Structure 1
Amino acid sequence: MRYAPKFDQHEFRCPAPHYRISMGGKKLLYAYIRKNASSTFRAYINQKTHPKYLLDPKNILKKLMSMDLKNRNHIDGNMKYFRHSWSKTVKGDSYDAIIFVYRDPLERLLSTFKNKFIDDIYASGIQRNFEELTGCEAEQATFTSFVEYTYNDFSRLNPHVTPQKSALWELNYTPIKLSHLNKVMREITDLEQTDSFFGSKRNASEKSVDWYEDGYDPGPLYNTSVCDLRVIAKEGRALPITNFISNEIRDKLRSRYAQDYEMIAQIEAQNDIRRHISAGGIAIAQSGEHFPANLGLRARGVAPRPQDLSLRLHLARGAGGVAGLGGQDRVDHLGDLAGQRS
């Protein structure tokens, strides 16, 4: 499944660093998007020390003085030598896969708020940015005020809260949903075990608890200040995700991150089509009737959805190119058609 982003003339863009990764004999190019398993990929990349990092005069001196190379795991430390410059052409056969990880924008923003404000982990940059743009101290921030903060011009915001799509280059990506990361990395690399890196979260919020303890329900938390949320957390109480969300917040974020929601809808529509095809839901007839009505869903007793009907029409227009293809090639081609036409 592929996704090639297209950008409107006035669409915000902030191209993220991309890094070369070797895994299971496969060459990958990875788009670094914060709060989308970026700490996991950073840890994987920094397993290997690049020779140029060791030969940096500043690092040689520190080593001779037995000083700790504190910036080794920073994106401007060892990692920068694995970076693929945006100005360089990415040839089609240079990598086995070009990947990025995506997640629901609301989930990502809430994860950022918990990790950087409540847990206060490596948070000085985003907290300072929040205070400068809102005039509110970070300890007095609420999730509601954090959502309002994102309504500043994207170019002024910390990269943890800029749109995920804005980080992408105009390449043909293999998108990976965060919740499927370990499974997809196993498929891409043909490695049986990827659990040590991709099987668990790194830098996850320590207090992102989704259950109530001892029947305690803290009630709505979206207008509760960070300092009060820390008190609740220190008492061992839960901070359930659902308690941070109101209909107003959900609607605001759907509007603010429309480009991400549109991107995710396109990606997941392709996934739906691939599943239907793999399950035998689409029969390509020799008679020229390429797609039975409603993607073959009625035949399997599944009620068609409006988006299924729309995708069927898009696919029907490009069905001519499908004839002669078989098996996985047909699945890939149909998925590509869906992405191009949605």
Structure 2
Amino acid sequence: MFDNRTLINKVGLSGLQKRFDDYRGQGRQHFAINVGDQRLGYCYIRKNACSSFKRMFLDLAPAKYERRTDERPIDFMRRHHLMTESDLAQCDRLVLVYRDPVQRIMSMFRNKFIAVNGAVDIHRNFERLEERQADEITFRYFVERYLQRDFHQVDRHVQPQSVHLRRAVYTDVIPVKKLHEGMTEVLGPEIADRYFQRPVNRTSDIELRHVAGASELPLAQVRQVFEEQGFMPDNESFLPADLKGRLKARYASDYGMIERFRKSSKRKSRAQVGQ
């Protein structure tokens, strides 16, 4: 369990906090759905197993919710499952999935910039801001230029996980590496096995190899190797110490958030032992 409410919420001024958060774009995308006899709330964060959740929402949506031709899963969810304040109050469980910030960026870069899977929005944003074609740049350029821009400018795929959270009490905070285990506890083994046992993302099983100086290679060259030989550079190849340090510093808010999760989990464990 993790309480992300502020003191403003707790003294009864939630409306004021919400106006402030809405202005900053904090916690906009939460969705709710009935799964069996439970009302499930979900915090949508790109690159945090969101494809598995989207598949579940599509499959378990009421039959009256017809999906439009060529409608993206996320747009279907926005039309029919977007969480309201009353939904939040009615949810039996509110789920938040998180991952290490550097690992999240690496997964995004492989998926959106090397495999170019569902990458139209982020490429459009990147090329508008940088005034360069994505295949011209290196990973170092991506980290040192694009990711250093104001987070309100860049695509949501690379915004910190912390900005996605609402001022709410999350009943289940699950690291992505323990997704199946966590969702089994939330929804039971049948649903968890069906939707959360294996990653849906098509780049999750791609072979990774050491490639000397990968962070300095033009993206077009990295793509060509992937298309012709089927592998991508591993994290160590992309992340010399200075770039890894830049990423950790840039996503310091997420590392702080994860530390808060851990402290909350420890307090809960101590309380359970003392019962």
Can you list the C-alpha shifts for 1:59-114, whole angstroms capped at 9, x where unaligned? 5xxxxxxxxx211x4322255211113x55732xx222111111111111111111
Cα-to-partner distance string for 1:139-176 (whole Å, 9 max, x where unaligned): 11222122121111111111101111101110001211
Structure-to-structure mapping, 1:303-342, within 5 angstroms: 327=272, 330=274
Q: Secondary structure at the match of 1:157?
A: coil
Which residue of 241, 256, 260 corresponds with 1:247?
241
Q: Percent identity?
A: 27
Query: In the alignment, is residue 128 of structure 1 matched against residue 124 of structure 2?
Result: yes
- Alpha-carbon separation, structure 2, partners of 1:218 and 1:250: 16
Residue identity matched to 1:101? V
2:115 corresponds to which letter in structure 1?
A: D
Q: Is 1:171 paired with 2:165?
A: no
State the partner residue of 2:74. Answer: 75
> Which AA in structure 2 matches 1:158?
D
More strand by share: 2
Task: Give the distance between the partners of 2:88 and 2:193, measured in 1 at CA.
Answer: 29
Whether the 8 Å contact between 1:14 and 1:166 is mirrored in structure 2 is: yes
Match of 2:216 among 197, 216, 223: 223
Which of the residues 25, 28, 39 maps onto 2:37?
25
Give the structure 2 partner of residue 287 of structure 1. none
| Partners of 2:205 and 2:188 in 1: CA distance | 34
Partner of 1:263: 257
**Partner letter of residue 122 of structure 1?**
G
SS of the residue corresponding to residue 173 of structure 2 reads strand
Q: Counterparts of 2:5 and 2:102 in 1: how far apart (Å)?
A: 21
Taking the aligned partners of 2:136 and 2:87, their CA distance within structure 1 comes to: 46
How large is the RMSD of aligned CA atoms in angstroms?
Answer: 2.8
Structure number, greater radius of gyration: 1
Q: Which residue number corresponds to residue 150 of structure 2?
A: 153
1:41 maps onto 2:53 in alignment: yes
Amino acid at match of 1:221: A
- 1:5 and 1:165 in contact (8 A); partners too: no
2:2 is matched with 2
User: By how many angstroms is 1:240 displaced?
Assistant: 1.2
TM-score, structure 2 as length reference: 0.83
CA contact (8 A) 2:206 2:230 kept: no
Deviates further, 125-134 or 76-85: 76-85
The reply to whether residue 186 of structure 1 matches residue 184 of structure 2 is yes
**Structure 1 contact 35–160 (Cα < 8 Å) conserved:** yes
Asked whether the equivalents of residues 135 and 218 of structure 2 are also in contact (C-alpha less than 8 Å), the reply is yes
Distance, in Å, in 2 between the alignment partners of 1:20 and 1:34 is 17
Give the CA deviation at 1:187: 0.9
Partner of 1:340: none
Residue 98 (structure 1) aligns with: 94
- Return closer, same or farther for 1:144/1:84 CA change in 2, 3 Å cut-off: same
Residues of 2 paired with 1:228 and 1:248: CA distance? Answer: 22
CA separation of 1:238 and 1:34: change in aligned 2, threshold 3 A: closer
CA change 1:207–1:47 in 2 (3 A) is: closer
Ranked by relative contact order (alpha carbons within 8 Å, sequence separation 6 or more), the top structure is 2
Q: Distance in 2 between matches of 1:32 and 1:263?
A: 16
**Structure 2 letter corresponding to 1:170:** R
Opposite residue 37 of structure 2, the aligned amino acid is G
1:304 maps to what in 2? none
Given that residues 119 and 206 in structure 1 are in contact (C-alpha distance below 8 angstroms), is that contact kept between their aligned partners in structure 2?
no
Q: Which runs of 5+ in 2 are unaligned?
A: 8-16
Instruction: State which drifts further: 173-182 or 231-240.
Output: 231-240
* Distance in structure 2 (CA, Å) of the matches to 1:259 and 1:98: 22
Which has more helix, going by share of residues? Answer: 2
**Cα separation, 2, equivalents of 1:201 and 1:89:** 28
Asked if structure 2 preserves the Cα contact closer than 8 Å seen for 1:12 and 1:154, the reply is no
How far apart, in 2, do the equivalents of 1:226 and 1:178 lie?
Answer: 27
- Structure 1 position 193, deviation (Å): 5.7
Contact 1:22 1:28 in 2 (8 A): yes
- SS of structure 1 residue aligned to 2:60: coil
- Report the CA distance between 1:132 and its aligned residue: 1.3
CA distance in 1: counterparts of 2:40 and 2:207, whole angstroms:
33
Determine the C-alpha separation between the residues in 2 that align with 1:207 and 1:224: 23
1:32 Cα deviation from its structure 2 partner:
0.8
Residues 207, 230 of structure 2: 8 Å contact kept: no
